[in-house]
Amino acid sequence: MANDLEHVSLNLNVRGLHASATVDINERSDELIRQGRTVFKFGLGQSPFPVPPVVVEALRNNAHQKAYLPVKGLAALREAVARFHEKNDEVPADPDNVIIGPGSKELMFLLQNAYYGDLVIPTPCWVSYAPQAQIIGRRVTLIPTHYEGKWRLRPEQIEELCADDPARPRIVVLNYPGNPEGATYSVPTLRKLAEVARRYELIILSDEIYGMLNHRGEHVSIARYYPERTIISSGLSKWCGAGGWRLGTFTFPPALRHLMNAMAVLASETYTSTSAPIQYAAVRAFEGGYTIERYLLHARRILALLGSWCAAKLRETGARVVEPEGAFYLFRISGRWRTGWRRRGLPRRRRFAGGSSTRPGWRFCRGRCSAATMASSRYASPT
Ligand X SMILES: Cc1ncc(COP(=O)(O)O)c(C=O)c1O
- Give the binding site for ligand X (CB under 6 A): 45, 103-105, 126, 175, 179, 207, 209, 235, 237, 243, 248
Which is closer to ligand X, CB of 69 or CB of 278?
278
Q: At what angle do helices 53-61 and 276-287 cross, to 10 degrees?
A: 140
CB atoms within 10 A of CB 3: 7
The maximal CA–CA distance of the chain, rounded, in angstroms, is: 63
**How many whole angstroms from its chain centre is CA 295?**
20
Q: Minimum Å distance from CB 249 to ligand X?
A: 9
Among 153, 112, 102, 105, smallest CA distance to 135 is for 112
Residue with the closest Cβ to ligand X?
103
Shortest separation between residue 105's beta carbon and ligand X, angstroms: 3
- For the bound state, the minimum distance from the C-beta of residue 237 to ligand X, rounded and expressed in Å, comes to 3
Beta bridge partners of 143: 122
Pair 214, 239: CB distance under 8 Å? no
| Least distance CB 228 / ligand X (angstroms) | 23
- If the CB atoms of residues 123 and 179 are measured against ligand X, the closer one turns out to be 179
345 backbone φψ class: left, alpha, beta (φ>0; ψ -120 to 50): left
Residue (105 or 215) nearer to ligand X, CB: 105
Q: Which is nearer to ligand X, 103 or 307 (CB)?
A: 103
Instruction: CB nearer to ligand X: give 337 or 363.
Output: 363
Helix intervals (H) in the chain: 2-8, 21-34, 53-61, 75-89, 104-114, 129-136, 155-164, 187-199, 257-268, 276-287, 290-316, 337-343
The residue (of 122 and 243) whose beta carbon lies closer to ligand X is 243
To the nearest whole angstrom, how small is the minimum distance from the Cβ of residue 235 to ligand X?
4
Shortest distance, position 178 Cβ to ligand X, whole Å: 7
User: Are 338 and 22 a contacting pair, CB within 8 Å?
Assistant: no
